[in-house]
A = this chain, B = another copy of it.
Amino acid sequence: MSEESTVPTLKRFLLGRPIPSHLAHHQRLSRVTGLAVLSSDALSSVAYATDFIVATLVVAGAASVWYSIPISLVIAALLAVVAFSYRQTIHAYPTGGGAYIVAKENISATAGLIAAASLLVDYTLTVSVSISAGVLAITSAAPRLDAYRVEMCLAFLVVLMIGNLRGIRESGRIFAVPTYIFVVSIAGLIGVGIFRYLMHSVVPMDAPLPPVAGTRPLTTFLLLTAFANGCTAMTGVEAVSNGVPAFRPPEAKNAAATLVTMAVLAITMFLGITFLEHIYHVMPSTSESGVSQLGRAIFGGHTFLYYLVQAATTAILVLAANTAYADFPRLASIVSRDRYLPRQFMNQGDRLAFSNGIIVLSLFAAVLIIAFRGDTQALLPLYMIGVFVSFTLSQAGMVVHWRHTKEAGWKTSAFINGFGALVTAVVLAIVTVTKTFEGAWIVLLLIPAIVTMFKATRRHYDHVASQLTLRGYTPQRRVHNTVLMPIGGIQRAVVEALRYAETLSDDVRAVYVDVDAASTEQLRRDWEIWGGQVKLVVLASPYRSMMEPLLEYIEQVESERPEDYVTVILPEFVPAAWWQHLLHNQRALLIKGALLFRPNTVVTSVPFHLAK
């Protein structure tokens, strides 16, 4: 099998067959698959949000843990406000109202770019945090596997990457089942747990307190930190409003219904788990999650139902990363269409997925997982800045939007979004204050760096466009083309390239650097036989350098006819096996590199195919 056909075959095997344009809209999401694909982030965060609140409060002693109840109620209320606020965005932007578009259109281009940078960072962290938390659900049930935490995270990442490169519909199908199993199994956990509570048959866990317990007083700062950590429950709410165009028509209506369902489910599960963790005296640790402890307390340690809860938690968390796989490439593509990102992000792959975005997302997420050793709690401080920056900008942008359109009921709408903006801005401030020194500074530096990169890219493309414009341009008519061919001796590949060179111009010169008199003499004799019409130029080289005399000669030829072309022909071996590349063409590469920055010089490689 030739090399030509191996690569496409492999690609097809991994990614499936290409799809013609006119079939594209069959890939759209129903409400049922849409909830699975776009809501898993928001739903799955209930699996860890309570743990973060409890783990923060216990530092002030076991007695402080009950504050998790009022804190969760506040967060649930905020989640409802934000969801309601985003529901308005769906209707106002039925073609997809991500924070980037809303902030760009209503506030300013820079605000849009800040939102876009925040979201790209956020999506990457969603992948890392969700996969790490999913692996924690496995290692909670099977502690021996903890040694392979990072490897397991990376394995899930690869599965997600390939799944997404294969395309959207497959994603929906794969992801629907575990999402619904998760919802049902958590509902069962909460139902049985509350039933036991009402029957007074609760047996509290005797999980050991962590060593830090009771080491600090219960300050307002600590309560705010617990609140900030709990706000992870709100992440992922925006995914549906970004993904409106992925729904089946009527897109906006389907998306809005999906958003409401998602918010109701997320709030119910979050409050239920928080309540149960409190009454069952659950104490989450880095080696066992709170949901796992609840499962053991309610269903018993080695029961089928316990393992079902753990498996469903893993599945939804790993698949929550899929929300980011749906949104990161889509956002990158929109930003790239505005020329703030390289145009490669605009290419749709064979299966309508945005392959480059998917690959870049996977790489960055892998770096985070490796750098933080797959530890959810260590990644957490980086997580929420990006989310709440984009929430705030998006809601603020909507306020401006309503003031512009002034359509019926715009004041109510503006009030709802304004309240949403205020709430998320306050959360952002709290997160920034409590998390900066724990690692969030990385994100605070990263966002402006990415915005700078966006602007540099756009500036570059604008410069290029101005250099490429045909307005007022008259091309020079250049007729003469001097063809030069550096040679190191004479053999079949050289002779073939000479014959090719002769088709290009009637001014062809072979150039040879003389480092050894005997070899030069031999070459002159061979030239009589094989040189054909081509003139032989021999250059002296006092320093034995091959390159310098050659470059000087090319420069001299160019200066003789500055307005005309010089074409440099290089015979190039095309080996039969990849490793043989290392054995050839080094000099050709050097010459190409040296000539790259010379105007009017064209370098042409004439391939010589080696049989083996």
| A residues whose Cβ falls under 8 Å from a Cβ of B | 2-4, 18-21, 342-344, 348, 350, 457, 460-461, 463-464, 467-470, 473, 475-481, 490-493, 495-496, 499-500, 503-505, 530, 542-545, 565, 567, 573-575, 580, 582-584, 586, 594, 596-599, 601-607, 609-612
Contacts and interface: CB of A to CB of B under 8 A. Distances in A.
Q: Return the 7 tightest CB-CB contacts between A and B, nearest first.
A: A468-B491, A604-B604, A481-B503, A468-B492, A342-B583, A21-B544, A18-B543
A467 B492 contact: yes
Nearest to A480: B503
B463 A491 contact: no
Nearest to A498: B475
A460 B579 CA distance: 10
Contacts of A19: 543
A542 B21 contact: yes
B491 A469 contact: yes
A452 to B, nearest CB: 12
Contacts of A575: 460
30 contacts: A18-B543, A19-B543, A20-B544, A21-B544, A348-B544, A350-B543, A457-B583, A463-B612, A464-B573, A464-B610, A467-B492, A468-B492, A468-B493, A473-B492, A475-B496, A475-B499, A477-B499, A478-B503, A479-B503, A481-B500, A500-B565, A503-B565, A567-B604, A574-B596, A599-B609, A601-B607, A602-B604, A602-B606, A603-B604, A603-B605
A567 B583 CA distance: 26
Given A464-B584, A478-B503, A567-B604, 8 more contacts: A18-B545, A343-B586, A460-B612, A467-B492, A470-B491, A481-B504, A574-B597, A602-B606
A611 B463 CA distance: 8
B342 A582 contact: yes
Contacts of A477: 499
Contacts of A598: 4, 607
Copies of this protein chain in the complex: 2
Main DSSP-derived SS at the A contact region: mixed
Contacts of A20: 542-544
Contacts of A610: 463-464, 467
Contacts of A18: 543, 545
A499 B481 CA distance: 11
A602 B469 CA distance: 29
Contact of A611 (B467, B503, B612): B467
A2 to B, nearest CB: 7
A495 B479 contact: no
A343 B467 contact: no
B343 A461 contact: no
Contacts of A499: 475-478
A470 B492 contact: yes
Interface centre among A19, A350, A544, A574 (most CB of B within 10 A): A544
Contacts of A344: 586
A19 B463 CA distance: 44
Contacts of A481: 500, 503-504
A493 to B, nearest CB: 6
A604 B565 CA distance: 13
Contacts of A478: 499-500, 503
Contacts of A492: 467-470, 473
Interface centre among A2, A18, A492 (most CB of B within 10 A): A492
Contacts of A606: 602
Contacts of A574: 596-597
A493 B468 CA distance: 6
Contacts of A611: 463, 467
